Structure 1
Amino acid sequence: MIALVGHADLAPWTLALLEEDLRVRLARYTDVGRAGLVRIGQGLPLAFARAARRAGLGLVTVIPGTDRVAALLREGQTRAAGELLMLTQRLSLVDYDPADGTACVRADERMIRACSRVLAVWDGSPSTARDATAHLVAYARSLGRTVDVLWPTGAERRMP
């Protein structure tokens, strides 16, 4: 499988740039049995799902839950989650709290352990309390996973 990690605060035009770049890259990995793996969310996960579908790659979506019951999504994520789930071939319910940043990082680490390749949408910035992308790239590399870093020309993050 191919996992996706990256910044959650990407500018809308960056998501458009990335969707095509992701499609081209994912089209290279449509071997039998290969699939993309993403944690549910808006923005980058949805761009990844659209790209995977257009590339002909299957998609597994990780959804949060507790005791085998799906957790509620954050307000404003339901529309994106609905589209993402429509593009998904398989769901994976993982025990984590989507409102807990540390739990989300642990869920991402679990995804990375399940994959042979990681696509990282990363501008090279260090990890912060709000963004663990640098940590996840280092974690994947420490496990010997192949990591492809994507940051297209013109890409930007939204400023808080």
Structure 2
Amino acid sequence: MTDNQTPNKDVSLKLFVVLSKAYRSLMDKAMRDMRDNGLSPSEFGILEVLYAKGRTPIQQIAGKILLTSGTMTYNIDKLESKGLIRRVLSKEDRRVVFAELTGQGEALFDDIFPRHADKIQGMMGVLTENEQQEAIRLLKRLGKGGAD
């Protein structure tokens, strides 16, 4: 392989550092917005899943936002005590517990999610739509390569 096909170690290390710093910067801004709305990032993630998917088994939510079962239970308890979600037992399988938004939770997310999405769009707006699509494609490829 030629040098054009295989990046040298310095370039690979630089990419790793730049990608890490960009991720940290973007996540810091996104988490600040979540906290400004009175939610931890985990709570926000749970509400976002329920807002998009509706009633969902708690175990599936944990898998979607990468939380351990203990952390998930803690956050579900907090959201339930805030009146934003409720637990619903499955009628088909007593081992399955669903979470769903309450009216209050839905109203809160109807209010905060569009503004949050606008802030995310603003952060990504330094790239054109085509550049964003290319970044998505490259980062997916990078993620699949890193999974080996």
Question: Which structure has the highest helix share of the two?
Answer: 2
Query: What's the TM-score, normalizing by structure 2?
Result: 0.32
Question: Which structure has the highest strand share of the two?
Answer: 1
Higher relative contact order (CA 8 A, sep 6+): 1
Query: What's the TM-score, normalizing by structure 1?
Result: 0.30
